Structure 1
């Protein structure tokens, strides 16, 4: 049986299906728009944001040849751990030389003290001789009237007196010069000894620094030093990255920063974890200038071909330590960062940044001079006796 084609019914069914599809699309669009409006309203976001951290570069502080390497890239080291050892031959020679110079200085001062006493006694002896000649001259003058003493004897006595007086003045001047070097100071605190002590402390410090220690705890990166390398002060060795002290540097367009304030909440998604992990943080502060002003070659817009380009301002955002511990990050990773603008926050120029963490200070160098004062007293005592 032949089926009857009804064009109006076909058109009506097609229009009905099209309406259903259109209704589904509109509903989906409205739902997505409602979700976006609910989830993103009051937020400002950027994908020009990266994880940042401290990169503590260690350099050689003294001259020497590398004899041992105790740390490798990716390895965790603790504050105070020895990372690189140098042979310390030059530092050891310099230390022995400084000890010898201190001992020689002490002996020179002892000799100078004895010289002052010798000159004083010499001046007294010459003063006694001068008194005797003066007595002789007085007797010669008394006997000259009777003709018992010649004029030549009188002249010789007077010349001898002048000679002794000049010699006494010379001896006293030499004594004064020696006393001026001593200045009534003891040997232990004499300026020359203090100078020698400083040289010994410096040599002792160089000798102690043949062992390069970690100033903070962290992970080793960028190791450049090798066994047998001859190092000079300032030679780069390796870097330490404390992964517990990380933050986000997010670069927002200048059209986005009007509502950003320190203290506002932030959410961070890291590309390495996809969208499964969300980090939370707080705005610490805004950079005092855009990136172009701190570039190696700042832009000069005083030209005829100026094109307006929106600048970016760097915003520093802290990360929650507990979240970092659960999902570790490394400096340099890319992120998608957004900031909640509904919160009032602090004034725009305020800063919540602080320097209280371990990465801003270390005490591993405070004990480098331990033992040097005992060595100094030992050297002085050995050369005094």
Structure 2
């Protein structure tokens, strides 16, 4: 017997199933939204965030030709390690010239002192001669009264006495001029000698800086120097990246920045590791201006048509040092960063950035002039006679 088909019953069953599925989807969506809202209500998130770090550009400090490269990209280097050697021929010639100029200057000052002493002795000799002539003139004048000496002889003695006085005045002026040049002080403290000393120090420094050293420890990147390159002071050689001092530069929309404060906790997921690895950090500071304010060509909204664009404010987030040590990062990696704004945090424009690290100072240049003072003293002694 054939079963009767009831279209209305089929339609009712289908509608019931559709309503059940729709209700299930709606309840699932509401549950997911509630779950998402519960997890994210106290967080602000941005994917415009990147790993930041120090990119220390190593530049040549003197002119020269590259003769040796001792570090390559991806190699770790230590602070003070020689990375590039420059040809030292020109620097050595300049140093030898500066030493010769110092020796010549010292000899010139010694010569001036000797000339001053010579003029002093000449003055003494002229004074002795003048005393003798004056004594004779006194006798001639006494004898002239008795008619024993001719008037011409007395006049000649007086003329000789006047000539000697003029000569002494001339020699004394010359002596004063030389004394003004030597200033009556020690040779090694004379201004001309001090100037020559500075040239020696500068040339010595240039000679020492033919060896380019690493100011900090890190990993070499972007090597540009090549053997045989003739470079000038200031030319870029390579970059050193300290991988133990990294942070997150997160750019948040201005609509989300109001509740962000230094000291609040943050969670960072790096795209390179996906969701498997979670880094923790804390807000260290908020940039005192939007990115467009510091752009090379800032926007001028006072001219032409205006289109409102939400600006972004850079926020610096410090990473947990232990997590960074266990899972190293590189500057420039993209991240998904979120900040817990339910925490009170610190004052808005306070900062917990630590500038005591090795990337903020170096001591490798403090001893570049070691030995130069001994060299200068030796040159002065050798040329003082």
Q: TM-score over 0.5 for the alignment?
A: yes
Q: Secondary structure at the match of 1:356?
A: coil
Q: How many residues align?
A: 385
Point out the more displaced range, 24-33 or 217-226: 24-33
Cα distance between partner residues in 2 of 1:54 and 1:200: 35
3-state SS of paired residue (1:288): coil
SS in 2 for 1:207: helix
Shift of 1:333: 1.4
Equivalent residue for 2:200?
200
SS in 1 for 2:279: strand
| CA RMSD, Structure 1 to Structure 2 (Å) | 1.5
What residue is the counterpart of 2:66 in the other structure?
66
Deviation at 1:170, TM superposition (A): 1.5
Q: 1:125-172: per-residue Cα shift (whole Å, max 9, x none)?
A: 000000011111111111112322222212111111111011111112
Separation of aligned partners in 2, 1:296 and 1:35: 44
CA distance in structure 2 between the aligned counterparts of 1:88 and 1:31, rounded to whole angstroms: 74
2:275 maps to which residue? 275
Deviation at 1:308, TM superposition (A): 1.3
Q: Deviations over 1:353-374 (max 9, x none)?
A: 2311110000010110111111
Query: 2:299 & 2:63 partners in 1: Cα distance?
Result: 43
Q: Report the alpha carbon displacement of residue 276 of structure 1 after superposing the two structures with TM.
A: 1.1
Task: Give the equivalent residue in structure 1 for 2:313.
Answer: 313
State the 4+ residue runs in structure 1 displaced beyond 6 angstroms: none
2:349 aligned with 1:371: no
User: What is the match of residue 80 of structure 2?
Assistant: 80
Mean Cα deviation higher: 112-121 or 340-349: 112-121
Residue in 2 that maps onto 1:121: 121
Contact 1:57 1:240 in 2 (8 A): yes
SS of 1:303's partner is coil
Mapping of 1:1-385 within 5 angstroms?
1-385=1-385
The Cα of 1:175 is off from its aligned counterpart by 1.9
Instruction: Provide the TM-score with structure 1 as the length reference.
Output: 0.96
Per-residue deviation, 1:12: 4.4
Alpha carbons 1:58, 1:237 under 8 Å: kept = yes
Matched residue SS, 2:73: coil
Unpaired segments ≥5 residues, structure 1: none
Contact 1:72–1:221, Cα closer than 8 Å, also in 2: yes
* Cα pair 1:63 1:88 within 8 Å, conserved: no
Query: Could you tell me how far apart the structure 2 residues matched to 1:158 and 1:151 are?
Result: 11
Deviation, structure 1 residue 20: 3.4
Give, in whole Å, the separation in 2 of the partners of 1:351 and 1:229. Answer: 44
- CA distance in 1 between partners of 2:221 and 2:354 (Å): 25
| Worse-matched range after superposition: 42-51 or 7-16 | 7-16
- For residue 309 of structure 2, give the secondary structure of its aligned residue in structure 1: coil
Q: Return 5+ residue gaps in structure 2 as ranges.
A: none
